[in-house]
Amino acid sequence: MKRVTLALTLALAAGLTAQAADAQTLKTVKDRGMLSCGVSQGLPGFSSPDDKGNWTGLDVDVCRAIAGAIFNDPTKVKYVPLSAKDRFTALQSGEVDVLSRNTTWTISRDTSLGANFTGVTYYDGQGFMVKKSLKVNSALELNSASVCVQTGTTTEQNLADYFKANNMKYEVIAFGTNDETVKAYEAGRCDVFTTDQSGLYANRLKLANPGDHMVLPEIISKEPLGPMVRHGDDQWFDIVKWTLFALITTEELGVTAKNVDEKTKQENPELKRVLGTDGNFGEQLGLSKDWVVRIVKAVGNYGEVFDRNVGAGSPLGISRGLNNLWNKGGLQYAPPIR
């Protein structure tokens, strides 16, 4: 540990701390009394601050669920808004404990960034939005179009692949943040705005006349979005991973924020295991026995989180589709808690 004194110099020079490699994330979070969570700079439905500065969204609820499991208090989260290009550096340097920022799981990100994806919170795909006045009905009619895109995303590469594969020309204009991209699209700098389809619906709400714009039917990529943690701390990796699984499992079992207390009293063996009245899986994770109860009390189950933020109960109104449970025609599946 003779290098500890130099760690600070290094953090400034290289954005890496010695502590990041030392893998005591849970202890660090508990000592700090706060979970530091990397979120977007404002994407309605996933992570955006309201007029009072309170963060809401699907990605935000993941942070709240983790804070709930650790502290039994979902408000103990410090949100760090990150641009697409800064997000990985913030995670690598230890500035955030978990990156919950609509980030696509790819092999290169999983292997070369020194970080791991813990699961999929939202199955997405990249789409295109155009003005209705252009009278375009398919992405294949977009030859020679100008496309606005946010820099530092998989979107940029999918875009290049798609236009090349279909022998179409295009002009790309890449902006640093989501808001700048949307503003340029609205100002007429480009014909097309592209990002993950959920993002298109979310951003359409920000436009002056959402009705003048339409999302084209084509989905040109697989974009499984999920939270990331640093390499080298398996306990923390497990905590984040099983927090997601707990959200899905409780939806399967019909446990909601409202009925969770009632459910803990039932004599169903699976419910007893999951809710911690039987066994001590929570303690094995480094949390408490009632960790799932805490999570559900904090944010509800996955279905509730989805509906409240992006689904039927939200302005976005996105249908469950791929994000339904595995036994209801979707892809959301959790390994058993036993």
Partner 1 sequence: MSIEARKPPPQIALKIRRVLGGKTGWNGIAVQFAFAAVLGWIAYEIVSNARANLENQHIAAGFGFLANNAGFDVNQTLISYTGSDTFLRVFLVGLLNTLVVSVVGIVFATVIGFIVALCRLSPNWLLARVGEIYVEIIRNLPLLFQILFWYLAVLAALPNPRQSISLLGIAFVSNRGLVIPRPIGESGFEAFLAVLALGIVASLALRIHARQALFQRGQMIRIWPYVLGLLFGLPLITMLVAGLPFSFELPQLKGFNFAGGSRIIPEFVALTLALSTYTAAFIAEIVRAGILSVHSGQMEAGSSLGLSRGTTLRLVVVPQAMRVIVPPLTNQYLNLTKNSSLAVAIGYPDLVSVFAGTSLSQTGQAIEIIAMTMGVYLLISLITSAVMSVYGWRVSRSLGA
Does 212 sit near partner 1 (CB under 8 A)? no
Does 174 sit near partner 1 (CB under 8 A)? yes
Nearest approach in angstroms of CB 161 to partner 1 is 7
Which of 24, 54, 75, 111 binds partner 1 (CB under 8 A)? It is: 111
Stretch that binds partner 1, among 107-115, 251-259, 262-270, 303-311 (CB under 8 A): 107-115
Among residues 129 and 271, whose Cβ is nearest to partner 1? 129
Which of 50, 51, 52, 112 binds partner 1 (CB under 8 A)? It is: 112
CA pair distance 293, 282, nearest whole angstrom: 11
Residues 6+ apart with CB under 8 A from 265: none
Does 109 sit near partner 1 (CB under 8 A)? yes
Among residues 171 and 283, whose Cβ is nearest to partner 1? 171
CB atoms within 10 A of CB 308: 18
Stretch that binds partner 1, among 33-41, 111-119, 245-253, 316-324 (CB under 8 A): 111-119
Does 6 sit near partner 1 (CB under 8 A)? yes
Q: What are phi and psi of 43, to 5 degrees?
A: -135, 105
Does 234 sit near partner 1 (CB under 8 A)? no
Q: Are 117 and 247 in contact (CB under 8 A)?
A: no
Q: Are 147 and 191 in contact (CB under 8 A)?
A: yes
83 φψ region: left (φ > 0), alpha (ψ -120 to 50), beta (else): beta
Nearest approach in angstroms of CB 7 to partner 1 is 7
Does 182 sit near partner 1 (CB under 8 A)? no
CA pair distance 319, 316, nearest whole angstrom: 9
* CA nearest neighbour of 102 among 73, 125, 75: 125
Does 219 sit near partner 1 (CB under 8 A)? no
Nearest approach in angstroms of CB 197 to partner 1 is 20
Does 165 sit near partner 1 (CB under 8 A)? no
Q: How far is CA 287 from the centre of its chain?
A: 23
CA pair distance 235, 3, nearest whole angstrom: 25
Q: SS3 for 310?
A: coil
Buried b (16+ CB within 10 A) or exposed e, 59-72: bbbbbbbbbbbbbb
Q: SS3 for 56?
A: strand
Q: Are 216 and 117 in contact (CB under 8 A)?
A: no
Work out whether the CA dihedral 27, 338, 121, 305 comes out positive or negative: negative
Residues 79-98 that bind partner 1 (CB under 8 A): 84-85, 88-89, 92
Does 146 sit near partner 1 (CB under 8 A)? yes
Does 187 sit near partner 1 (CB under 8 A)? yes
Which of 75, 132, 137, 160 binds partner 1 (CB under 8 A)? It is: 160
Among residues 167 and 327, whose Cβ is nearest to partner 1? 167
Among residues 134 and 257, whose Cβ is nearest to partner 1? 134
Host H or E run for residue 214: strand 213-215
Does 189 sit near partner 1 (CB under 8 A)? yes
Nearest approach in angstroms of CB 107 to partner 1 is 12
Which of 24, 143, 166, 284 binds partner 1 (CB under 8 A)? It is: 143
Residue ranges that bind partner 1, judged by CB under 8 A: 3, 6-7, 9-10, 13-18, 20-21, 84-85, 88-89, 92, 108-109, 111-114, 134, 142-146, 148, 151-153, 156-157, 159-161, 164, 170-176, 180-181, 183-184, 187-189, 191, 230-232
